[in-house]
Amino acid sequence: MNRSRSKLVAFAGLVIAVVVLVIAMVGGGSLTAPSSAPPSGVASSGAGFSSVQTTTPEPGSVPTPAAAVANPSTLPTISAAQLPKEARQTLALIAKGGPYPYDRDGVNFGNFEGLLPRKSGGFYKEYTVPTPGESDRGARRIIVGKDSAKYYTPDHYESFMFIVEDK
């Protein structure tokens, strides 16, 4: 009886470990213990984590960076001022949180082409850049990462440029 109980406890422990691992993978969480210092992007009052303020955006929101974001990719860059007028207007809508003219604006971008830095699902959101003369959404998009990095594609995900935003 003692042996079967040991097997049951071991099995329960294995199930719990698998569940925790799946939750961490799906939720993008970390399985490491917290360090004594706050993680990058977190401000602390200095007294541990009792009054921690995170700069992580709420799910579904697009953060507005306080400072310029460094290019996390090897993609070429383009200044926001060099973007087409419609792309600059889309950037302004993103900065103020909408409203967006297309139902598909703000949906997850899967990065199936693999041209942007690889991240977990739900990391990127896409926004339409209207194309004059097109009767539909056209091919131009701005992709925004949870790290506030923004990318412009003029050709429906065939190529990307990292957007260097004006200060």
Q: How far apart are CA 102 and CA 87, in angstroms?
A: 14
Question: Cα-flanking dihedrals φ and ψ of residue 74, to 5°?
Answer: -100, 15
Distance from chain centroid for Cα 1: 51
Q: How far apart are CA 124 and CA 150, in angstroms?
A: 9
Q: How far apart are CA 163 and CA 81, in angstroms?
A: 9
Active centre residues (catalytic): 126, 156
Answer yes or no: are the C-beta atoms of 149 and 74 closer than 8 Å.
no
Produce one character per residue of 24-58: b if its CB has 16 or more CB atoms within 10 Å, e if not: eeeeeeeeeeeeeebeeeeeeeeeeeeeeeeeeee
Which residues make Cβ contacts (< 8 Å) with residue 73, sequence separation at least 6?
Answer: 116, 117, 149, 151, 160, 162
